[in-house]
Amino acid sequence: MKTAITELFGVKYPILLAGMGRVALPNMVAAVSNAGGLGVLGAGSSPPDLTREMIREIRTLTDKPFGVNAPLMIPNGKENAEVALQEKAPIINYSMGRGDWIAKAAHAYGGKVMASVTNVRFAERAQAHGADAVIAAGMEAAGHAGDVTTFVLIPRLVETLRIPVIAAGGVANGAGLVGALALGAAGVSMGTRFLLTQESPLHPNFKQAALGLDVSDTIFSDRFDGVFNRVMKTPAAVRAEKTWMNPFQVFLDSFGIARELRTPYLKLFAQVITAGPKQTLELMRMSQMLKMHTITLTTGDIDAGMTASGMSVGLVHDVPTIAELMERMVAEAKSAHARLNASMEDAPPVPALAENAA
Ligand SMILES: Cc1cc2nc3c(=O)[nH]c(=O)nc-3n(C[C@H](O)[C@H](O)[C@H](O)COP(=O)(O)O)c2cc1C
């Protein structure tokens, strides 16, 4: 499996662990990279010194290339990108913002940059800003997804961009990988599939519940944090979509959040208030999501927790180790490819072509 991104990143397989905040932690990153893929740390809104520790921990667990994801618009997002640059992370994956400064600084030490995008405009902008590749999330994807499906978005970007396109959203097995490559992608990035592995920190209650879900058991709404976001259909998600947030509760929760982000309360308060009315509202909503997400990683209370999840949750039927999953994906991809080759060889020639040949 040689593609533009196996060459660009120096990995064996074009399979990426999506940089899921609070989920894609050093053990998962190293497991994916050690298995020949590219593990990407989900720095999310982690305190910057924790991000630095996690990057250093990854280096003790693997000598293979890895990436660091930083969503720039959330608290600690930009700071985490700065930490990744200071630590000379081999690959930096930014989302939700402008990354020209990241590309410039990463290229100076030989690092590579991937931008996560959801539409053609953002992808073209990322290319103009110096990104080496884009991760394009179709509407099937978990979390912040666009309104175009992976099946349409990927070929559209491939015909437009000069840089490689990595497909995200809806890929959970080897056939999905081959399908994405057939559409012109240079690799795939998977979130939901890796969320349901042994190494994932998702509470076993949620892993078990996810196995009972089908492809339509997600909710795609902008009611959670102001941007369209796909989550697992849990009782809490159903309620959150219908209820307006309680500003008093947000205020009460904000103290705990400042502690969790290891940010002085007044600094966080100022960041939120000065972000502009729209973003302030989004950040307030996001804080409620963060609280419900914590439940999926700690107590496992099925009624109260909420996590991002893609439609591909309905394609996941077990909870393997990452090494097992990687091995299986490669075997499935090879047999899907062989099946395609065989069906092409057996197929009768297309009449117009046969006439031309005659
Ligand atoms: C639990 C979870 C957390 C996520 N957190 C982030 C994040 O912090 N940053 C980000 O860019 N994408 C995040 N994503 C989205 C993934 O990067 C990716 O786009 C998506 O999972 C791909 O779709 P799939 O789930 O169908 O594989 C998250 C996804 C999941 C499932």
Confidence bin at 133 (pLDDT 50/70/90): very high
Token pair for 219: 């909710």
Cβ–Cβ < 8 Å for 106, 113? yes
What pLDDT score does 260 carry?
73
> Is residue 119 pLDDT above 60, yes or no?
yes
Q: Contact 154/184 with Cβ under 8 angstroms? A: yes
pLDDT (average), residues 126-133: 98
Parallel/antiparallel/unpaired status of strands 91-95 and 133-137: unpaired
Q: Considering only 82-96, 107-121, 262-276, which range has the smallest mean pLDDT? A: 262-276
User: Which of 85-99, 190-204, 269-283 bottoms out in mean pLDDT, i.e. has the lowest?
Assistant: 269-283
What would the pLDDT profile of 3-27 be if each residue is shown by its tens digit? 999 999 999 999 999 999 999 999 9
Pocket test for ligand 1, best of 16, 17, 20 (most atoms within 8 A of CB): 20
Is the model's pLDDT at 358 over the cut of 50? no
**pLDDT surpassing 70 at residue 196:** yes
pLDDT top residue among 193 and 267: 193
The answer for residues whose C-beta is within 8 angstroms of residue 330's C-beta and 6 or more apart is: 1, 13, 36, 174
Could you give phi then psi for residue 190, rounded to 5 degrees?
-120, 135
**Whose CA is closest to atom 1 on ligand 1?**
308
- Which amino acid appears at position 180 of this protein? A
The finding on whether 169 has its CB within 6 A of some atom of ligand 1 is: yes
Q: Which residues of 219-247 are buried (b: 16+ CB within 10 A; e: fewer)?
A: bbbebbbbbbbbbbbbebbeebbeeebee
Residue range 21-51, pLDDT digits in tens: 999 999 999 999 999 999 999 999 999 999 9
| CATH class assigned to 4-202 | alpha beta
Mean pLDDT computed over every residue of the chain:
91
* 196 CA → ligand 1 middle, Å: 13
Mean per-residue pLDDT for 101-122?
Answer: 98
> Where in the chain do CATH 3.20.20.70 domains reside?
4-202
Give residue 11's pLDDT.
98
Is 67's C-beta closer than 6 angstroms to any atom of ligand 1?
Answer: no
Phi, psi values for residue 173, rounded to 5°: -155, 180
pTM: 0.91
Span 255-288, pLDDT tens digits = 677 777 777 777 777 777 777 766 676 677 777 7
Question: Could you give the angle at the alpha carbon of 291 between the alpha carbons of 285 and 292, nearest 5°?
Answer: 95
DSSP 130-176: T-SEEEEE-TTSSEE--SS-HHHHHHHHHHH-SS-EEEESS--SHHH
Nearest CA to ligand 1 atom 12: 20
153, two tokens: 């978005």
Average pLDDT score over residue span 80-102: 97
What tokens were used for 224?
Answer: 């959670």
Q: Is 190 in the pocket of ligand 1 (CB under 6 A)?
A: yes
Note whether 95 and 71 are within 8 A (CB). yes
Tell me, what amino acid is at 56?
R
Per the document, the length of the chain is: 358
pLDDT score recorded for residue 226:
75
Task: For residues 218 and 316, give the distance between their C-alpha atoms in angstroms, rounded to a whole number.
Answer: 14
The pLDDT score that the predictor gives to residue 251 is 67
Rounded mean pLDDT, 166-195: 98
Q: Which residue has the tokens 């999330």?
A: 137
Q: Give all strands (DSSP E) within the chain, no chain letters.
A: 15-17, 39-42, 66-71, 91-95, 112-117, 133-137, 143-144, 165-168, 187-190, 218-221, 229-232
For the CA atoms of 335, 340, 341, 346, what is the dihedral angle to 10 degrees? 130
pLDDT digits (tens, 9 = 90+) for 289-307: 788 999 999 999 999 999 9
Token reading at 100 = 């020209």
Q: State whether the Cα torsion 317-321-326-332 is positive or negative.
A: negative
Q: Tell me the range of 109-118, 215-224, 257-266 where mean pLDDT is highest.
A: 109-118
In tens, the pLDDT along 331-353 reads: 999 999 999 988 887 666 655 55
Our answer on whether the CB atom of 20 is closer than 6 Å to any ligand 1 atom is yes
User: Using CA atoms, how far apart are residues 42 and 51, in angstroms rounded to an integer?
Assistant: 9
Q: How far is the CA of 19 from the centre of ligand 1 (A)?
A: 6
